């Protein structure tokens, strides 16, 4: 599209209606993109069929209710399988893929490598001979082996500069590219999909910051854009009343719930804007107004606690 440079995105999983924390992240991703002159695209991450609750259309409706718009039609991740398989094939051709028959319990029970982070893959299947791999396939049948990335020897985990977290370091192990049930893993799909959609600004929850070094490594191995061509901003999560990560069990936390309590989308947008320092107490704003006020340097760096529907409804 003429006049645009790059794209930001929001990529929800259709596992249920968006809650306040999801909507706050979506609003931030949209503001980051629009304030920097980027396109804004939406991708429905529907690869995991077991978690698909059929909520994609409701999620899009809720974004629109807040005034969040997007460029082009939303993309279904499940329609991008050819690109995912091509990426796996390229890594396999480079000798960077191997089969793994380990379960989660196997990994947790295995001795960890020195200085490896908790839960890191210990490399159990990495150097098995062809005969051993064949016996393992027979042992776990009808389950199939997963595919893991063989991280090249001597690889140093990439560091990256984050607009909200500053300089971020992480760890890398031989992570899964495709699960045993045939589902392409998030870490591979997100890298391939963002590149194919021209995304060069990634705004998401800070729980995903530790995975980003994996993504940067894949970007480099696949010859895709990586930092500094790709900009990251990992958003502090929204907390529930108990101080833990906000979840649907915390009560009225979706737009549908709040609407049933007489709280409209404008009131929700106002409280989200206040939580980001973009509106004054009691001020009603539009999403478009927030773009003109948006300053990433002024955004809060700490988690925000959802005040609850009762306080939001109070005069």
Give tens-digit pLDDT for 98-144.
999 998 888 888 876 666 677 789 999 999 988 988 898 888 888 89
**Residue 31 covered by a domain:** yes
Assess if residue 222 is contained within a domain: no
Average pLDDT of span 147-172? 94
Q: Which domain holds residue 257?
A: 7-78+236-313
Question: Bigger pLDDT: 249 or 20?
Answer: 20
Q: Are residues 133 and 145 in the same domain?
A: yes
The answer as to whether 293 is a domain residue is yes
Fill in the DSSP letter of residue 244: S
105 and 72 in a common domain: no
Q: Is 31 annotated as a binding residue?
A: no
Q: Determine how many CB atoms are found less than 10 A away from the CB of residue 104.
A: 8
Contacts for 46 with CB less than 8 Å, ≥ 6 apart? 13, 14, 52, 56, 76, 77, 78
Quote the number of domains for the chain.
2
- My answer on whether 85 and 184 are in the same domain is yes
Q: Write down the pTM of the prediction.
A: 0.92
What CATH number does residue 67 fall under?
Answer: 3.40.50.620
Q: Is 232 annotated as a binding residue?
A: no
Tell me: the pLDDT tens digits for 199-224?
Answer: 999 999 999 999 999 999 999 999 99
10 is in an annotated binding site: yes
Q: Say which residue the tokens 């039609």 belong to.
A: 73
Assigned domain for 202 exists? no
Q: Does 100 count as an annotated binding residue?
A: yes
Q: Are residues 74 and 95 in the same domain?
A: no
How would you class 165 by CB atoms within 10 Å of its CB: exposed for 0-12, middle for 13-18, buried for 19 or more? middle
In a domain, 14, yes or no: yes
Q: Which of 188, 223, 257 is the last residue of a domain?
A: 188
| Tokens matching residue 68 | 């969040």
In a domain, 104, yes or no: yes
The answer to whether residue 273 scores a pLDDT higher than 60 is yes
Biggest alpha carbon–alpha carbon distance for the chain: 71
* pLDDT at 289 exceeding the cut of 80: yes
Ligand-binding annotation for 45, yes or no, is yes
Query: What is the SS3 assignment for 239?
Result: strand
Distance (Å, whole) CA 22 – CA 195: 23
Q: Is residue 230 in a domain?
A: no
One domain, residues 119 and 49: no
- On whether both 18 and 58 belong to a single domain, the answer is yes
Residues 31-84 pLDDT 10s: 999 999 999 999 999 998 888 878 999 999 999 999 999 999 999 999 999 999
- Relative orientation angle of helices 20-35 and 265-275, to the nearest 10 degrees: 70
């Amino acid at each position: 599209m003429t006049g645009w440079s790059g794209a930001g995105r929001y990529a929800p999983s259709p596992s249920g209606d968006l809650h306040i924390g999801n909507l706050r992240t979506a609003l931030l991703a949209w503001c980051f993109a629009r304030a920097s002159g980027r396109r804004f695209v939406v991708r429905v991450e529907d690869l995991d069929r077991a978690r698909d609750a059929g909520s994609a259309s409701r999620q899009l409706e809720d974004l629109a209710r807040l005034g969040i718009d997007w460029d082009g039609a939303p993309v279904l991740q499940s329609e991008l399988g050819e690109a995912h398989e091509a990426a796996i094939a390229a890594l396999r051709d480079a000798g960077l893929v191997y089969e793994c028959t380990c379960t989660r319990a196997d990994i947790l029970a295995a001795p960890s490598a020195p200085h490896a982070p908790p839960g890191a893959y210990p490399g159990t299947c990495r150097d098995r001979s062809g005969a051993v791999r064949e016996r393992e396939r027979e042992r776990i049948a009808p389950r199939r082996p997963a595919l893991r990335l063989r991280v090249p020897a001597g690889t140093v985990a990439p560091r990256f500069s984050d607009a909200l977290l500053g300089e971020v370091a992480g760890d890398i192990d031989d992570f899964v590219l495709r699960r045993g049930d045939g589902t392409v893993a998030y870490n591979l799909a997100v890298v391939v999909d963002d590149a194919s959609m021209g995304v060069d600004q990634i705004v998401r929850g800070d729980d995903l910051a530790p995975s980003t070094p994996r993504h940067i490594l894949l970007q480099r191995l696949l010859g895709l854009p990586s930092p500094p061509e790709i900009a990251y901003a990992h958003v502090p999560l929204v907390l529930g009343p108990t101080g833990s990560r906000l979840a649907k069990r915390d009560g009225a936390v979706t737009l549908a719930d709040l609407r049933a309590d007489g709280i409209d989308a404008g009131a929700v947008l106002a409280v989200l804007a206040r939580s980001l320092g973009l509106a004054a107490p009691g001020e009603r704003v539009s999403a478009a107004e927030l773009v003109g006020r948006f300053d990433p340097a002024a955004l809060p760096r700490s988690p925000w606690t959802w005040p609850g529907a009762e306080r939001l409804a109070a005069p």
